[in-house]
Amino acid sequence: VSREGAKGQEYNAMGGSPTDHVATIPFTRSLSGPFDYTPGVFDIRIKTSPDQVKTTIGKELALYTIIYAPMMMANDLPENYEGHPAFEYIKAVPTDWETTKVIDGKIGDYITIARQERKTDNWFVGAITDENPRGFQLALDFLKEGITYNATIYADGEDCHFVDNPTSYEIKNMEVTSTTTLDMNLAAGGGAAISLYPKN
């Protein structure tokens, strides 16, 4: 059972949480068990309000892997997902994990987590940052040796910014192995999500 116990996504429609809020949760509230945050907002500028959520599409996708919640949901309206290529990650990401590896992180600043889907060799990675853009290298050495994986990377676009252009994103497909290192670039307030499936 998931419980909230800290500010959830709905606070973003009431003035908003700072960008470092979800970069703090994995080190605090989430240590005590599943956390109900309800990520997945794509209507970041909020059509019915002058406010906007302090996030990006890439960050919202990454939160499905960063935040552990066996009862996850997509919190936006169906019409905001219809035909949206980035919705494929939400449809694919599981909620039941075999293995969790915290790759890197600093409380309130950034975190990168890789999780293996239970009873499969499928992996999912989420990386988020606070208001500062970040570049880093992601070694995929947690993958099984000798296997080639199909990776789909959902990342912030080059012109993405959580205030000025929060819905800019890009999707890349490539083949990777456990020896691959990816150059990752997170926009200010942004994030990235990666799905990794063994190649048939």
- Provide the β-strand partners of residue 125: 114, 194
Active site residue 4: no
Neighbours of 66 (CB within 10 A): 28
Structure tokens at 122: 């499928």
- Parallel, antiparallel, or unpaired: how do β-strands 149-156 and 97-106 relate? unpaired
How many residues does this entry show for the chain?
Answer: 200
Ramachandran region, residue 21 (left: φ > 0; alpha: ψ -120 to 50; beta: rest): alpha
The encoded tokens of residue 6 equal 């800290």
> Pairing between strand 149-156 and 169-176?
antiparallel
Out of 4, 10, 158, 175, pick the active-site residue: 10
- Cβ 94 vs Cβ 124: under 8 Å: yes
Catalytic residue list: 10
